[in-house]
Amino acid sequence: MRRGSILLAAAALLLSACSDDGNTVSGQARDGSQKGYVSGDGTVEQLAPEDRTRVIELNGQAIVGAGSAGGEVELEPWSSQAALGDVLVINVWGSWCGPCVEEVPDLKAAHAHFQESGDPVQFIGVNDRDSASAALAFEQRHDMPYQSLVDDGGKTLLQLQGMANPRPTTLVLDQEGRLAARVAGQVDDATLQGLVEDVLEQ
């Protein structure tokens, strides 16, 4: 198993990245910073195959593009069930989240790497709080190479409850749809590639 910059966390997926009171919404209200979201510190957690007990099924509406004549954003149904057999990378983001913006080049680089390698890896974004039009504008501005699911009033994110509290959060699911790794905070290209390659090799 690759090590590199990957930090192996013990046992359960705990939100250690959110333990600092200044990095909670209530703590921000007290100290006046009020970012309005909880950011992670980049802690990486991995689960060995025998410890992967949580199967994630994610369903939502994926952004396709702008509607005709400036109409509503075009959406299409998406389900993680269609990705079974591949490694699936889920990135939870918001356009208002600074670290989410900063990690975009790394996400794009990792996606390009696996596209070029031909490995069975898929990426999907999950937007938080933005309108569909704002999320689409972000994707177009940053030339994102993969789709994102719209927020849908929080219903989409509710399916990831307890796994994606910090912004951003990146989850890696194995070929059976089981949670294999999580990055609580901004991810870099090398770490994400290493996490995915570990799953591919198992």
Secondary structure element (H or E) that encloses residue 100, with its range: helix 98-102
What is the pLDDT at residue 22?
A: 40
Q: With respect to residue 124, please indicate whether it lies within any of the assigned structural domains.
A: yes
For residue 39, the domain's CATH number is 3.40.30.10
**Cα–Cα distance for residue pair 170/66, rounded to 1 Å:** 26
Which pTM does this prediction carry?
0.82
Let me know if residue 1 belongs to a domain.
Answer: no
In a domain, 3, yes or no: no
pLDDT for position 41: 78
Rounded distance between C-alpha atoms, residue 190 and residue 202, angstroms: 19
Q: Is residue 11 part of a domain?
A: no
pLDDT of residue 40: 72
Task: Give the Cα separation of 58 and 79 in Å (integer).
Answer: 6
Q: How many structural domains compose the chain? A: 1
d(CA 145, CA 133): 17
Mean pLDDT by 10 residues, the chain (202 residues): 41 34 38 49 93 96 82 93 98 97 99 98 98 96 98 94 94 98 98 98 92
In a domain, 78, yes or no: yes
Q: What is the pLDDT of residue 39?
A: 58
Is 5 within a domain?
no
Give the domain range for residue 127: 16-201
Domain presence at residue 9: no
Q: What is the pLDDT of residue 77?
A: 98
Q: Is residue 167 domain-resident?
A: yes
